[in-house]
Structure 1
Amino acid sequence: MINSIFFMAKKSFIGFILFFVLFQVKSQETIKIPEKANKILFLGNSITYSGQYISYIETYLTLKYPEKKLEFINVGLPSETVSGLSEHNHAQGKFPRPDLKERLHRVLSKAKPDFVFANYGINDGIYLPFDNERFKKFKDGILWMHNEVAKSGAEIVHLTPPVYDGPNTAVYDNVMDIYSHWLLSKRYTDEWKIIDIHSPMKGQLQKERVQNPKFTFAPDGVHPNKEGHWVMAQQVLLSLGENTSAQFNSIEEAITEFENGKKALELIEKRQAINKDAWLSAIGHERTGMTEGMSLKEAQLKSKKLKKQLTMLLNQ
């Protein structure tokens, strides 16, 4: 009798896990990076600048498809918005939030991307309760960005904002819910390519808190930790058709099947760290306090050496 109950409980648990994995797989629309695309650019704020989710995506795809020659360019800028809004005393009055409008044309002309992932929203409500005027500025900024990227000839994919988990969580995450739902609606009204980051992160957060009420993806309420960045990367990978990524709880798990997976991740993270500051400095921006990057030429030389090491590693 006890064995029978145990078997049924185990079967139910496995069924739940399979349902959760299948739900993740089904919840994202399939997006394809064109075969001719070479430069994949990521726009966003400090979450994108920190770049773990970008490195995870690049590592996973590089290990699985070493024959593909994709260049992943991170031009995320901390504090940035598309709404042009800023708190009255942002950063203790040191500087207002930078506005993407100030630099997007330079980003597109210098980087010349073929494919763009854009992740905005978390800063755009400036951490206040919902307000229609602020919402309008966010929507206007997103529409402007979308059109400018499209005019450049690149395809653009929008990511909904990550989950908010800081002070007044219910109030501001409600704002992020609204912003996310509007972005998702553009799938149907305008056939935009949208990847939902917000809902899966929120669902996973709630699931984890059943067992651990103190669990969080963002210790400071805004910036995801490694686990949060993996959930973000996972949703992008699922949208790209990498359905097996749903079964892994971390990038480390995802790359264990590859002999040199860990070393490949280290090399890619190192290259990304060099390149992102070089790109930001080459493009120019109005955000004070940023690390001055080396020249783009110097960064590309260092990057080339790291890429060579990576190629040798993958060919072992």
Structure 2
Amino acid sequence: MIQVLLLRTSFFILVWMGLSLSQSPAQSPYAVELNGKRVLFIGNSITYAAHYVDYTLAALYLENPGVNMEAINLGLPSETASGLSEPGHAGGSFPRPNLHDRLDRILEIVKPDLIFSCYGMNDGIYLPLDEERFARYREGIQLLHNKVIEKSIPLIHLTPPVFDPKKDPAYADVLDTYSKWLLSQREESQWRVIDLHFPMKDVLLERRQTDPDFVLAEDAIHPNHLGHWVMAQALLQGVGAVTVKGYDSPDAYFFSKPLGQEVLALVRKEQSATKDAWLTHIGHERPGMKEGMPLKQAIKESKRLRKQIRSLSKKRKVN
């Protein structure tokens, strides 16, 4: 049974390491402390888009009124953990950025207390399964894992979102393979992994039975709002916020909660204020990104908005 424990100022979430029922039995829970902590999200354009991050954070505030956490989104479009890039990427204007060109700076400057990492979508560079590319993905994720764990930072890997098989069945199989390997590390290496991939695939295939044109990503890659909601549901179930089960859209959930829309709007505003500021401050090799405001200004704005979020969430509890 998943439990949420609140002990004085320490907020502990028991994370249930569960797979889609079609994949594997659920794993034993583990505790993650969030209250007063800095939580980092890293990944590619899907994480940078931030919708699943926003839904996750807003739901955590709503389900745990008064919790005080700082969330930093350092997702970078086009990025891989494998260091691979297809010929002619972005019309030949630049190769895909490599996480490992900035990871040391991220860990040194951000000093996170917990990391959620979501890579894989770009790592097979949209080609059929190939052992060399697969090995590069595994090596990149292993290197990420080792660097984070060496600093004693809790790390939770997220399997990559689903790639729509209607667009390219071969690449959909690549991401199935990458996800299964990542999930296998829970038992083989005692990694912490939450599965987003197969819950998304289950929803996609189930809805296609009655609506052949149903999609979770119009371009097969970047999830729409419903796709991000399915991701957030899986992540939230992975951290014990089980009340999100049964809501078939973000609107259904946030409209059902007193002040839910208001909390979500503030979370979006706070994340928008800090995301580009942190990316600019850390530095990266991806051209064309928006330059953020000075980091000190962004942190000040973040603190102001998070205070409002906590106040609203506490007001919801009283009401």
Pair 40,132 (structure 1): closer, same or farther in 2 beyond 3 Å: same
Alignment match, 2:86: 87
When normalised by structure 1's length, the TM-score is 0.89
Tell me which amino acid in the other structure corresponds to 2:40.
Answer: L
Aligned to 2:187: 188
C-alpha deviation, 1:304, in angstroms: 2.2
Q: 1:169 deviation in Å?
A: 2.1
What is the root-mean-square deviation in Å for CA atoms of aligned residues? 2.0
Q: What is the alpha-carbon distance in structure 2 between the residues aligned to residue 168 and residue 207 of structure 1?
A: 17
Q: Structure 2: how far apart are the matches of 1:25 and 1:37?
A: 34
Partner of 2:212: 213
Q: Distance in 2 between matches of 1:170 and 1:83?
A: 22
Quote the Cα distance in structure 2 between the aligned partners of 1:56 and 1:26: 26
TM-score (norm. length: structure 2): 0.88
Partner SS for 1:80: coil
Tell me what 1:113 maps to: 112
**Which whole-Å deviations, capped at 9, do the CAs of 1:171-208 have from their partners, x for residues lacking one?**
00100011011101101101111111111111110011
Name the aligned partner's letter for residue 98 of structure 1. Answer: P
Return closer, same or farther for 1:28/1:251 CA change in 2, 3 Å cut-off: farther
In the TM superposition, 1:32-51 aligns within 5 A as 32-34=31-33, 38-51=37-50
1:256 is paired with a residue whose SS is helix
Kindly indicate whether the alpha-carbon contact (under 8 Å) linking 2:85 and 2:125 is maintained by their aligned counterparts in 1. yes
- 1:287-314 CA-partner distances (Å, limit 9, x unpaired): 0000000111011122222223323333
Q: Which of 1 and 2 has greater Rg? A: 1
Structure 2 unaligned segments of length 5 or more: list them. 1-19
For residues 129 and 201 of structure 1, do their structure 2 counterparts lie closer, same or farther at Cα, with a shift above 3 Å needed? same
Which residue is equivalent to 2:161? Answer: 162
Equivalent position amino acid for 2:223 in 1: P
**Identical pairs, percent:** 46
TM-aligned CA distance change 1:97 to 1:166, over 3 Å:
farther
Residue by residue over 1:143-195, the C-alpha shift from the partner in whole angstroms, topping out at 9 and shown as x without a partner, is: 00001111122111111111101774210010001101110110110111111
Does the 8 A contact of 2:35 with 2:67 survive in 1? no
Deviation at 1:253, TM superposition (A): 2.0
Q: What is the rounded CA distance, in whole Å, between the counterparts of 2:27 and 2:162 in structure 1?
A: 17
Assess if the C-alpha contact under 8 Å between 1:37 and 1:115 holds in 2. Answer: no
Looking at structure 2, the residues matched to 32 and 48 of structure 1 have their Cα atoms a distance apart, in angstroms, of: 24
| Aligned residue pair count | 296
SS of match in other structure, 2:135: helix
1:232 paired to 2:241: no
Task: Answer with 283-292 or 301-310: which moved more.
Answer: 301-310
Pick closer, same or farther for the CA change 1:275–1:35 going to 2, 3 Å.
Answer: closer
Q: 1:307 to 1:24 in 2, by over 3 A?
A: farther
Does residue 289 of structure 2 align to residue 311 of structure 1? no
Distance 1:218 1:63, change over 3 A: same
Which residue is 2:146 aligned to? 147
TM superposition shift of 1:271: 0.8
CA contact (8 A) 2:41 2:73 kept: yes
CA deviation string 1:227-286 (max 9, x = no partner): 000110111111112222111112222233432110110010011111110110010000
Alpha-carbon distance, 1:28 to partner? 6.7
Amino acid of the residue matched to residue 120 of structure 1? Y
Counterpart in 1 of 2:249? 250
Post-superposition CA distance 1:62-118 (Å, at most 9, x none): 011122211111000000001100011000011100001100011111111111110
Return the alpha-carbon distance in structure 2 between the equivalents of residues 25 and 130 of structure 1.
23
The AA in structure 2 aligned to 1:48 is T
Residue identity in the other structure for 2:91: Q
Q: Which residue number in structure 2 is paired with residue 7 of structure 1? A: none
Tell me the distance in 1 between the aligned counterparts of 2:28 and 2:222. Answer: 25
Distance in 2, Cα, partners of 1:77 & 1:183: 21
Q: 1:24 to 1:52 in 2, by over 3 A?
A: farther
1:265-284 matched pairs, under 5 angstroms: 265-284=264-283
> In the aligned structure 2, how far is the partner of 1:253 from the partner of 1:276?
27
Query: In structure 2, what is the Cα distance between the partners aligned to 1:232 and 1:199?
Result: 10
How many Å separate the matches in 2 of 1:35 and 1:273? 21
C-alpha separation in 2, matches of 1:160 and 1:37: 27
The more displaced of 161-170 and 279-288 is: 161-170
Q: Which residue is 1:67 aligned to?
A: 66
Counterpart amino acid of 1:38? K
CA distance in 2 between partners of 1:142 and 1:101 (Å): 10
Amino acid of the structure 2 residue aligned with 1:313 = L
How many angstroms does 1:52 deviate by? 0.5
Distance 1:167 1:209 in 2: 11
* 8 Å CA contact 1:86, 1:126 repeated in 2: yes
* Stretches of structure 1 lacking an aligned partner (at least 5 in a row): 1-20
Alpha-carbon distance in 1 for matches of 2:107, 2:171: 32
Q: Which residue of 2 aligns with 1:129?
A: 128
Closer, same or farther in 2 for the Cα pair 1:285/1:190, shift >3 Å?
Answer: same
